[in-house]
Amino acid sequence: MEVRIFFVADVHGSEICFRKFLNAIKIYKVDVAILGGDLTGKLVIPIVKMGGGRYEADFANRRWIVKEGEELNKLLGMIRNSGFYPRIMSEDEYHKVRSDNTLIKKIFDEAAAEVMRSWVRMAEERLKNIGVECYIMPGNDDSRIIDEILKESKFIVNPDEKVLEIKGGFEMLSMGASNPTPWKTPREYTEEELERKLTSLLNHVKNPESAIFNIHVPPYETLLDMAPLLDDELRVVTKGGRIVFVHVGSKSVRHIIERSQPLIGLHGHIHESKGVEKIGRTICFNPGSEYGEGFLRGVLINLEKGKVKNYLFTYG
């Protein structure tokens, strides 16, 4: 039996990228769709109601002054499609929010939860009658509130930290957390913790040689984990006018792949490192991400009789 998998990652709250993900599932006649981590956006963008039907916002390195109606709706759409959360508020609320980190986090979590619920409803409406299996997994950037929302769905499956059998009888081991990052994101483990958790999951895999490893962070020292080097103030390091790139993937993920040699590895996390690389017999993929520009990167993989028949990177 041939199984067609469509894998994407790192949409980071981009409404247009999520819609493209759902549309691609139908267009490509996919059997299994996987969104492998980092679902939520980065920031809330305040849109301040100034009176007289005018609204102001700082977005995309400029000050926007728009009128209620078509202009406001266009700005709201641009913000959502770029992976941010617009929030209309009064001047008083805006000044209160600016000085209260606890309130900022509360507003962000509410916005992320609201968007995630709308995405789940959208996926259920569009996909549940076409015979596709849909797996959506949080990544290291995602708050734990996302798990509760995904759990509410009877159609979407959150595979995080589980071993599941998917269509075609393939086993899928999944892990959304990453090794430590400079940003101290919500789901990070030390390399030792990550290896223990992956090893524990691996003990539940009956046939590693035909398994799928859906692990958000890519294996260390590959084409899939090259990111710009940052200094102590998180600024990009350049040398001779060029950005310096370094390997930032997980050593424990590499160890577990080298040891067990699954059929394929599905990874994301490092947006700049779209590519494919073999570790022993295992073919590892990272489709990359350009969510901020509204482009969806993915990879179509056809599996047949325990082998990779072919694959194709997608972009649009």
pTM of the predicted structure, to 2 decimals:
0.95
Are 189 and 216 in contact, with CB atoms under 8 Å apart?
Answer: no
Is there a single domain that holds both residue 210 and residue 149?
yes
Instruction: Retrieve residue 17's tokens.
Output: 């990228």
Same domain, 113 and 83: no
Q: Which of 54, 77, 104 is the last residue of a domain?
A: 104
Domain around 145: 2-43+107-315
**pLDDT level of residue 171 (50, 70, 90 thresholds):** very high
Q: How confident is the model at residue 97 (pLDDT cuts 50, 70, 90)?
A: confident
What is the β-pairing status of strands 238-239 and 133-137?
A: unpaired
**Residue 203 sits in a domain of what CATH number?**
3.60.21.10
Total number of domains constituting the chain: 2
Question: Looking at residue 97, which CATH number applies to its domain?
Answer: 3.30.420
Mean pLDDT of 213-218: 98
| Whether residue 33 sits in one domain with residue 69 | no
What value does the mean pLDDT take over residues 141-146? 94
Give the SS3 label for residue 8. Answer: strand
Per-residue pLDDT, 101: 87
Among residues 35, 69, 104, the one where a domain terminates is 104
CA distance 114 to 124: 16
**Which of 62, 85, 104 represents a domain boundary (last residue)?**
104
Residue identified by tokens 């073919």 is: 283
Do both 187 and 217 map to the same domain? yes
